[in-house]
């Protein structure tokens, strides 16, 4: 699943506006709703802080 690196996230909210399934919320830091995320990877491309990545468990 999508993982937020909390040390990198600056809470800019950009990923929230690009997520097609409204899986992301940013209050202070970004949070992912795993039930909504379809792992499209769009947010990873837009994050200016390189704070988003796909965790290993996504492939299990
Ligand atoms: S991977 Fe896609 S669906 Fe999941 S949080 Fe990012 S933009 Fe939203
Ligand atoms: S785009 Fe990146 S830095 Fe901005 S809120 Fe999302 S995860 Fe955090």
pLDDT at residue 60 greater than cutoff 50: no
Quick one: which ligand is closest to 22's CA? 1
Q: What is the CATH number of the domain that holds 13?
A: 3.30.70.20
Residue closest via CA to ligand 2's atom 8 equals 9
pLDDT at residue 48 greater than cutoff 70: yes
Predicted confidence (pLDDT) per residue in 6-40, tens digit: 999 999 999 999 999 999 999 889 999 999 999 99
In total, how many domains does the chain have? Answer: 1
- Three-state SS at 14: helix
In a domain, 37, yes or no: yes
User: Could you list the residue range(s) of the whole structural domain that residue 45 is in?
Assistant: 2-55
Distance 48 CA to ligand 1 centre (A): 15
């Amino acid at each position: 699943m999508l993982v937020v690196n909390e040390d990198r996230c600056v809470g800019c909210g950009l990923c929230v506006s690009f997520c097609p399934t409204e899986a992301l919320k940013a209050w202070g830091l970004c949070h992912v709703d795993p039930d909504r995320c379809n792992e499209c990877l769009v947010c990873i491309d837009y994050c200016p802080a390189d704070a988003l990545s796909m965790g290993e468990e996504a492939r299990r």
